Amino acid sequence: MENTLEKTPDLKMYDQVTEKFVEYMKKELEANFQKGDRNGQGGWLEVKDNKFWISELYYHVGKLQSAMMSNDIHRIEENCADIANLALMTLDVKIDLLKSE
């Protein structure tokens, strides 16, 4: 029997949850800006070494694992945002997220 009710994505919920998550990401970016912003000396766009990005992601996943094991919600929030920011930076290095299309 075929299901005639097609399931559709809950776009409003996606907007709400990603908007909230972006707040955590921005908080972590602001807390760590002294390590280097996007552009300029020490900025993430200067880091072209794939091994660096992979090792940073693994390192932060390990920190998240530790936070999860101790159920430390504050550290879980921080580490999830750090991992998301590293993913953002990695993609930005590869495709330049701000370039005009």
CB count within 10 Å of CB 93 equals 19
Using CA atoms, how far apart are residues 40 and 33, in angstroms rounded to an integer? 12
Whether residue 79 is contained in a domain is answered as: yes
Give the per-residue pLDDT at 2.
58
Whether residue 29 is contained in a domain is answered as: no
Whether residue 56 is contained in a domain is answered as: yes
Give the per-residue pLDDT at 40.
87
Residue-wise pLDDT for 59-91, tens only, equals: 999 999 999 999 999 999 999 999 999 999 999
Whether residue 80 is contained in a domain is answered as: yes
Residue-wise pLDDT for 2-44, tens only, equals: 566 789 999 999 999 999 999 999 999 999 999 889 998 889 9
Per-residue confidence at 100, pLDDT binned at 50, 70, 90? confident
Q: Which amino acid is at 90?
A: T
Whether residue 100 is contained in a domain is answered as: no
Residue-wise pLDDT for 35-64, tens only, equals: 889 998 889 999 999 999 999 999 999 999
Phi-psi region at 49: left, alpha or beta (left = phi > 0; alpha = psi -120 to 50): beta
Whether residue 15 is contained in a domain is answered as: no
Number of domains in the chain: 1
* Domain limits for position 77: 47-95
Using CA atoms, how far apart are residues 32 and 21, in angstroms rounded to an integer? 17
Whether residue 21 is contained in a domain is answered as: no
